[in-house]
Structure 1
């Protein structure tokens, strides 16, 4: 029998969502993604403490933002030694509303990778899907620096990313699910809102179908999963980034798995063309309470973890 992880890999590129590169080999993902929260979690484990200490010792006295970028690149380099594909490395979330600062920081991260002998095509720069972040990504893509637009919760964000020709987007399935479940309170029916009826799954499905229908090359990578059902309901998505615990569950299951998303079927769908200028984007995002709240919350959380990481560096 084929286990679900191998079955999923027939339809979808599987990406590991972790900063814990020692876990990667057992699941054989193509790519890996990191973020400030995952790196913070990793450096607090005893096996990664030397990596933090070595980086800080080597670059002590340099500006804090440079030390953090060097630490992120160090993790990225270790991850790339384990996987055949790409690693995503995130720009400081505190720059989410500053296009030029995001571009500058992204360019430095790429330069640090190149100094380690890593080709530009093996790195995706992760940027929050604010209007300013999307505009930064558009500039970077024109320079040949590929981007992964994260904290993406709405169709409007996805449309703007497609228009900007970003390489990849990471719509957050689990956080969308969390919001709707919290809003529903006691009336939430878990069984009725599972699988294809999960609000996070529905969001990614809408984005995927729109991209394929209109020939938008941006890759769709579902992210932030809460359960295996959300993953299997998106089999066929370009990529799915999955935490090690859920990868282990997929590897342990022999339940049948079928393709759920189909690019050829999407091409035949009768869907309206959609585009946004800045005012239209901001209004559409404002109209989506879930996306507005989760985007702001996500930026705050990543920024808070960046501050915690700085404190660990100062203490090292």
Structure 2
């Protein structure tokens, strides 16, 4: 059995660190899977606050080391038997000479730089503010750290941009009419998940039985998160990331969520993520890059 437990920082457009009791590593070593990877988000209370989420971007690993980030995602969010759909295309270009640091000197990201215009499927992406939120002396402070390029569509409203599954998205970076970079991002098959329980959500003996339309190849990521009480409009706070073979099923034993902060949350959220990444390191303009496409299905369950 090959289980690996690692601490990770969730950071992309913004950063999420939250206060919860981190499960001890000994609680995570008995899941019956030969290819399961578990990652636990570490505590660092009082430093960061949440301003954007993995549940729409699909990005769960720290990407502050990259100068360029280009991602597209198709997102479904199911709550109370209703499903909302959205598509998102983003391009971010960072200036590594301009770091953003915490009061203790830790670099968390960089200010952005402008290197041209971005087109997804020949549609010009809008330039919008990129903000992060830091907790300074117990008070939240929002800071705009530059611009990024965005196309966003939700429930058939918004930018004219569609995500075609098992296909590809054309991306161009232009400056003064000249093409600086041109590449394709392959898209994954759509993922559709389901969650069943054997008992009350907060019961110690409850099992979460997850299923999805497995492809039989590759892996999927499953993020277990929650929406805090009185913050229903806020993004989802992540607690666990599980990477498993794309075989269509996973049973989560009750002890894995022994220290999950049910009492602090209105909803528990299971996020199913299928992705495809692109390597374009041969392109000098985007030589230091992260490029990927995601299919995401969020399932929100009310906590009694």
Which category describes the TM-score, using the shorter chain as reference length? under 0.3
Relative to the length of structure 2, the TM-score reads 0.27
Between Structure 1 and Structure 2, the one with more strand by share is 2
Between Structure 1 and Structure 2, the one with more helix by share is 1
Relative to the length of structure 1, the TM-score reads 0.26
Q: Which has the bigger relative contact order, CA under 8 A and spacing at least 6?
A: 1
